Structure 1
Amino acid sequence: MSTLLHHLILSSAERHADRPAVSDGARTVSYAELAARVQTMAAGLAALGMRRSSRVAVFLPKSLETVGAFFATAMGGGIFVSVNPLLKAQQVAYILQDSGAELLVISADRLAVLANELAACPDLKTVVTVDAVPSTVPPRLRVVSLAELESAATSLVTPRTVDEDVVSIFYTSGSTGRPKGVVLSHRNMVAGAHSVASYLGNHPDDSVLAVLPLSFDYGFSQLSTCFHAGARVVLLNYLLPQDVLRAVAREHITGLAGVPPLWIQLAALEWPETAKTSLRYITNSGGKMPVATLQKLRQRLPQTRVFLMYGLTEAFRSTYLPPEMVDERPTSIGKAIPNAEILVVRPDGSECDPDEPGELVHRGALVAKGYWRDPERTAERFRPAPGQLPEVPLQEMAVWSGDTVQRDADGFLYFVGRHDEMIKTSGYRVSPTEVEEALYATQMVCGAVAFGLAHETLGQSIAVVVEANEGQAPDTEHLLAGCRRSLPPFMVPHVVVWEADLPRNPNGKLDRSGIIARLRPELEKHHGA
């Protein structure tokens, strides 16, 4: 039984030794080869000073070496920190400082870019380059190549590890502007892999395309679910959405996970016939998929099962909508995944009635261990689960999501919005998500962010920032006419801003907080009266 993260690979190596585990471009390794590589790398990291709970940062694009570094760290008792490869030098340095990373796995060219920032990372002692060691290295740091590490590896003395031990820190955007580190245990990640693989029906014949960043819990889940099932994961660092479709066809992909901006792009393309026939399922998380996009994908992929999901890094994955319900309930985020309970509660912790909006609270094995070095924010978000027996002295902690949802009479959940993003206009509480859905339904835009502006008489007016579909000219009059057909008057936007290219965050999602922070002050000056 797999109880630790690296057991997922070792167990599949025992059952499916010769089956393909990871494909990276022209390279494919079997489960037996991957297990051997991880063991060698773990021994090498230990020889360089990795000890129990040492933080090992990995700043690389998706590659076989990246995967090896994660699971080797886990095997050696360390804590891996996956750093998004799109981050800038100062952002990377902050994560290295905050996590207290002692080792860094990186490429020579990335090391050169980071060199000037590493002096501010006092805990960092050793750097492992996956290629050659550069001729000039940062002062005080020991720099070795991966080849040197592997050649010097001796037998690994595995530390005593249990499933409650910390295995990873995933950094996610914070409301204060600094990313926060979500602390995950072996139990969190193994339970997540088991749960997700069970409802997706993953099996050894699957080939799953990993296009999302591995620093994103949803992206990393493609690794853990595949390794749990003995399936093959195909790593892809892509530039254009067409690259994704080519890879699906070329690699005979059976599973593909994406976020709404990617699905909007893919829904607009013609899919190769081979892609249509091989793709068994697709999944969406990281935001609500517009209904218009969902309908296009259903038309293009009539035989493909669509899983609409909701999750947060603090609990890995929370809900999914069974594919057979997608056409009937296209706006639902479904019900709790296996081995989780989702509660909808009022501010006092009492459970909401059907169709009453409340906060989503997640309890179960996937709930993280808090925020790294941040007890105050941990106390705000991780609190005792509602409804516990008073006779039990030690209370179970749940994650209070900060998201407003409602549950219908049949138990299906619907996302309403973030507590701190709800727009209060003309005495109504308006969900930005609902406004954005109406904008997408016009099929005039491929990106939309709605938010409130302080307004003297309305309380707040509704502003939207939108990106036009490729080949379409911005047309505010027609856009608002489309909104009026599907929204009541109090929900129709008052201010429309067109931008040629809305910024995305490193995980591929629209950078909502950045867009709002940039535009709100100026818009309130001109439209706040």
Structure 2
Amino acid sequence: MSDLIHDFIFTAARRTPAAQALVHGNVRLDYAALAEHVRRAAQVFLGAGLQRGERVAVYLEKRIENVAAMFGASLAGAVFVPVNPLLKPEQVAHILADCNVRVLVTSGERLAQLAPQLAACPDLRLALLTGTPDLAAAGAHPALALRSWDAALHEAGTDLAPHRRIDGDVAAILYTSGSTGKPKGVVLSHRNMVTGARSVASYLELAPSDRLLAVLPLSFDYGLSQLTCAFLTGASAVLLNHLFARDVVDAVAAHGITGLAAVPPLWNQLARLDWPQDCTLRYLTNSGGAMPGATLAVLRAALPRAQVFLMYGLTEAFRSTYLPPAEIDRRPGSMGRAIPNAEIMVVRPDGSPCDSDEPGELVHRGALVSLGYWNDPAKTAERFRPVPGQDPALPLTEIAVWSGDTVRRDGDGYLYYIGRADDLIKVSGYRVSPTELEDAVYGLGTVDEAVAFGVPHPELGQAIVLLASSAGLDAPTPELLRRACQRSLPAWMVPSHVEVRSEPFPRNPNGKIDRKGLALPFLTLFEDRSS
């Protein structure tokens, strides 16, 4: 049985060495070739003197070198840190310094952009550069050695023994997107990642015949999961760096993709496109936010042979719940029940269990609970707290993730998302879920994207601001949207301010809508009016 995350690749290579493992553009690697890439990468890191548990950062778009570097670092006994390629140099430098990265795998162009920031990364000793970089012109601080990735792999030896690791050791550090403030590093053990892959692969019923399209960033736990689940089951993963939603549809057709994972903003775009009638998709998965009901209906009609799995997760525990496709019509709006090998609790502030349909905080316990935030004990103590209701006779305290999300559980045990505790809008004493309001707006059929949030108001406490994006000729006016809300929603849920934009909303590096960034200009909207 595979207990370390890189074992997935080597187990598949022994079982089906000629099976296709990884595709990027015109490059296709079978499992034997991928295992050799990973083995050589590990030898490069060990030959560079990398010690047990030291960090290797990978700052690249999705490509073969990216995958080989991550799993090669794991094989060597180090820790891999995938860095979102959309982050700015200042954010990348923060990550490199925060987790004391020793080795950086990147391109010459990216290193040149980072050069002004590297003085703040004193632990960095080696940069391995992909492609055919001009090593002399790459630019970096004097203590940083530069090597060609291709040359290093070609010259790699075979005799250096990896550092010994067990499943409880750190495998990876995944940094949150950092759209506001500095990103936090979520520390994942091999056990976390192996358990997560086994759990998800079981309910998706993944098989060696599956072909998964890796669209999301590999620095995002949901994106990285496409690789780990594929490698666990001996399936194929196809790497895609897309510019347009149409690229995704074309890739599905070109590669015979059977599994596609995306976040709601991308699903909203994909739902507006024509899909081929002979589409090979067997399933779709959604996480990173609730998929609007209107988008779900369009996708199910366009792809009737594809099962839809609606999921909820948080980076601190990877995946928490999923809704079986057979329950979608019976339980509209549900985020499902706990995934295999996880327990999901709904509790009051004192930790006592909530009654059916009583709102409470979602708490996740089990083997998927990560090891906390790197180098941040204060934030770790806020989110990672003792499991509620633990038997006091147990001498060691089990730690759970307290999500900060408010949910309710119905009488059959199915969960429904209400909102983040700090995102719920409180209008004249009423608690308003942004998700519920946004779903009502999507139901009009003329809005591509909707974002609702609360802002300070001198009389109401908070007022609701609704932003809508609609690029079509039938785009509604703000007044039309407001009247539609008045007809379908109670008075306290009607937005006080509505704006309609023709362009898509800005995203954070993980592809989610940048809600906090959108809200910032409106925080003093009603304060200014009252002065």
Q: What TM bracket, shorter-length normalisation?
A: over 0.9
The equivalent residue for 1:178 is 182
Task: Report the CA distance between 1:173 and its aligned residue.
Answer: 4.1
Task: Report the CA distance between 1:481 and its aligned residue.
Answer: 2.6
Q: Given the two structures, how large is their TM-score scaled by the length of structure 1? A: 0.97
Distance 2:172 2:100 in 1: 13
Task: Report the CA distance between 1:498 and its aligned residue.
Answer: 2.6
1:199-348 equivalences under 5 Å are 199-275=203-279, 278-348=280-350
Task: Report the CA distance between 1:474 and its aligned residue.
Answer: 4.5
Task: Report the CA distance between 1:297 and its aligned residue.
Answer: 0.6
Matched, 1:458 2:495: no
The equivalent residue for 1:386 is 388
Matched, 1:520 2:505: no
- Give per-residue Cα distances to partners, 1:376-424, cap 9 Å, x unaligned: 0100100111121111100111000000000000100000000001111
Task: Report the CA distance between 1:445 and its aligned residue.
Answer: 1.8
Letter in 2 for 1:241: A
The equivalent residue for 1:33 is 33
Task: Report the CA distance between 1:174 and its aligned residue.
Answer: 5.8
Distance 1:419 1:175 in 2: 19
Distance 2:529 2:84 in 1: 37
Query: Partner of 1:102: helix, strand, or coil?
Result: strand
Do the aligned partners of 2:118 and 2:141 also contact (CA within 8 Å) in 1? no
Name the stretch that deviates more: 257-266 or 478-487.
478-487
The equivalent residue for 1:115 is 115
Distance 2:254 2:389 in 1: 51
The equivalent residue for 2:87 is 87
Point out where structure 1 has 5 or more consecutive residues left out of the alignment. Answer: none
Task: Report the CA distance between 1:520 and its aligned residue.
Answer: 1.9
Letter in 1 for 2:334: S
Distance 2:131 2:178 in 1: 33
Task: Report the CA distance between 1:457 and its aligned residue.
Answer: 2.0
Do the aligned partners of 1:87 and 1:506 also contact (CA within 8 Å) in 2? yes
Do the aligned partners of 2:263 and 2:511 also contact (CA within 8 Å) in 1? yes
Aligned pairs, how many? Answer: 526
Letter in 2 for 1:497: E
- Give per-residue Cα distances to partners, 1:457-507, cap 9 Å, x unaligned: 212111112211444434112212322333111101110123333111011
The equivalent residue for 2:194 is 190
1:293-442 equivalences under 5 Å are 293-442=295-444
1:465-484 equivalences under 5 Å are 465-484=467-486
Task: Report the CA distance between 1:212 and its aligned residue.
Answer: 0.4
Distance 2:240 2:180 in 1: 32
Distance 1:53 1:309 in 2: 32
Taking a change above 3 Å as real, the CA distance of residues 87 and 334 of structure 1, as seen in their structure-2 partners, is: same
Query: Partner of 2:334: helix, strand, or coil?
Result: coil
Point out where structure 2 has 5 or more consecutive residues left out of the alignment. Answer: none
Letter in 2 for 1:118: L
Query: Partner of 2:80: helix, strand, or coil?
Result: strand
- Give per-residue Cα distances to partners, 1:92-123, cap 9 Å, x unaligned: 11111111111100011111111111122111
Q: Given the two structures, how large is their TM-score scaled by the length of structure 2? A: 0.97
Distance 1:151 1:271 in 2: 43
- Give per-residue Cα distances to partners, 1:117-147, cap 9 Å, x unaligned: 1122111110000112323132321000112
Query: Partner of 1:294: helix, strand, or coil?
Result: helix
Distance 1:509 1:305 in 2: 23
Q: Please give the root-mean-square deviation of Cα atoms over the aligned residues, in Å.
A: 1.4
Do the aligned partners of 2:477 and 2:500 also contact (CA within 8 Å) in 1? no
Taking a change above 3 Å as real, the CA distance of residues 110 and 410 of structure 1, as seen in their structure-2 partners, is: same
Query: Partner of 1:12: helix, strand, or coil?
Result: helix
The equivalent residue for 2:42 is 42
The equivalent residue for 1:505 is 508
Name the stretch that deviates more: 411-420 or 474-483.
474-483
Letter in 2 for 1:327: D
Taking a change above 3 Å as real, the CA distance of residues 362 and 8 of structure 1, as seen in their structure-2 partners, is: same
- Give per-residue Cα distances to partners, 1:189-208, cap 9 Å, x unaligned: 00000000000010000000
Distance 2:183 2:25 in 1: 31
1:55-204 equivalences under 5 Å are 55-134=55-134, 135-136=136-137, 137-140=139-142, 141-154=144-157, 155-173=159-177, 177-204=181-208
Letter in 2 for 1:66: N
Query: Partner of 1:262: helix, strand, or coil?
Result: helix
Distance 1:366 1:506 in 2: 24
Do the aligned partners of 2:458 and 2:526 also contact (CA within 8 Å) in 1? no
Distance 1:43 1:485 in 2: 66
Do the aligned partners of 2:457 and 2:527 also contact (CA within 8 Å) in 1? no
Taking a change above 3 Å as real, the CA distance of residues 518 and 82 of structure 1, as seen in their structure-2 partners, is: farther
Distance 1:51 1:443 in 2: 56
Name the stretch that deviates more: 149-158 or 242-251.
149-158
Taking a change above 3 Å as real, the CA distance of residues 528 and 220 of structure 1, as seen in their structure-2 partners, is: farther
Name the stretch that deviates more: 250-259 or 429-438.
429-438
Do the aligned partners of 1:467 and 1:501 also contact (CA within 8 Å) in 2? yes
Letter in 1 for 2:336: G
Do the aligned partners of 1:89 and 1:113 also contact (CA within 8 Å) in 2? yes
Task: Report the CA distance between 1:39 and its aligned residue.
Answer: 0.5
Query: Partner of 1:445: helix, strand, or coil?
Result: coil
Name the stretch that deviates more: 441-450 or 64-73.
441-450
Do the aligned partners of 2:479 and 2:498 also contact (CA within 8 Å) in 1? no
Taking a change above 3 Å as real, the CA distance of residues 527 and 4 of structure 1, as seen in their structure-2 partners, is: farther
Do the aligned partners of 1:444 and 1:479 also contact (CA within 8 Å) in 2? no
Task: Report the CA distance between 1:176 and its aligned residue.
Answer: 6.8
Taking a change above 3 Å as real, the CA distance of residues 527 and 241 of structure 1, as seen in their structure-2 partners, is: farther
- Give per-residue Cα distances to partners, 1:18-38, cap 9 Å, x unaligned: 100001011110111111110
Task: Report the CA distance between 1:526 and its aligned residue.
Answer: 4.1
Query: Partner of 1:143: helix, strand, or coil?
Result: strand
Query: Partner of 1:246: helix, strand, or coil?
Result: helix
Do the aligned partners of 1:483 and 1:492 also contact (CA within 8 Å) in 2? yes
Distance 2:17 2:504 in 1: 46
Distance 2:529 2:25 in 1: 51
- Give per-residue Cα distances to partners, 1:407-453, cap 9 Å, x unaligned: 00010000000000111112211111111111211122222221112
Do the aligned partners of 1:45 and 1:149 also contact (CA within 8 Å) in 2? no
Letter in 1 for 2:252: V
Do the aligned partners of 2:175 and 2:184 also contact (CA within 8 Å) in 1? yes
Letter in 1 for 2:149: L
Do the aligned partners of 2:309 and 2:324 also contact (CA within 8 Å) in 1? yes
Taking a change above 3 Å as real, the CA distance of residues 338 and 493 of structure 1, as seen in their structure-2 partners, is: same
Task: Report the CA distance between 1:511 and its aligned residue.
Answer: 0.5
